[in-house]
Amino acid sequence: MERSKIKELLDKYLEGETSLAEEKKLREYFTSSAIDPAFEEFKPLFTFFEKEQEIKYIEKPKINKTKKISFQWLSIAASIVLVCSVYFFSQQKEEHNNTRKVNHELAMKNTQDLLYMMTNVMNDGKNQLKYLKEFETTKNQIIRNK
């Protein structure tokens, strides 16, 4: 494009009087490689506009509609979990009761065993004490003899 023509267009552009077609021409000129250095300041401007137009909106996965659906699914999932947990809990409780009975008997036996062991040990200890008594009687004998 001729220099005078561009100058004319730019002046119109700055006054806000260019049509879209004319602005397109300007954009094309300033994004090309051969630019008159006299108008160099317009290069970043039009390149910027060109680049800005390429920005795209990347959809985020949280739209109102899907939100509602996810709440529905959430409530369904929650109720399933609730039913399952109640079921498992009740079953576990039953099991728990059974094992408790078994444990009771076992504990009884264990404590009995333990008590037996204790008495055995105690008796052993008591037997050991007999020697002490012997020592004392001999000691008394010695003292008395003196």
Partner 1 sequence: MNRHQDETKHKMNQQEFLAFLEPIKDKMYRLSLRLLVSKEAAEDATQEVFVKLWNKKSTLKNYNSPEAFAMTVTKNHCLDQLKLKKNNNLRIVHNNYEDEKTSLQKQIEAKDELNHVSEILKSLSEQEQILIQLRDVEQLEYTEISETTGMKETAIRVSLSRARKKIRKEILKKHRYGTV
The residues that touch partner 1, with contacts defined as CB under 8 A, are: 13-17, 20, 23-24, 40-45, 47-49, 51-53, 55-60, 62-65
Nearer to partner 1, 2 or 59 (CB): 59
Nearer to partner 1, 65 or 144 (CB): 65
Shortest Å distance, C-beta 41 to partner 1: 5
Going by C-alpha positions, the residue among 63, 84, 62, 66 that lies closest to residue 74 is: 66
Tell me the C-alpha distance between 60 and 57, whole Å.
Answer: 9
Shortest Å distance, C-beta 5 to partner 1: 19
Shortest Å distance, C-beta 74 to partner 1: 20
Structure tokens at 131: 């020697």
Nearer to partner 1, 2 or 54 (CB): 54
CA angle at 56 for the pair 53 and 59, rounded to the nearest 5°: 160
Which helix (H) or strand (E) segment is 115 a member of? helix 64-145
Nearer to partner 1, 69 or 114 (CB): 69
Structure tokens at 52: 């800005």
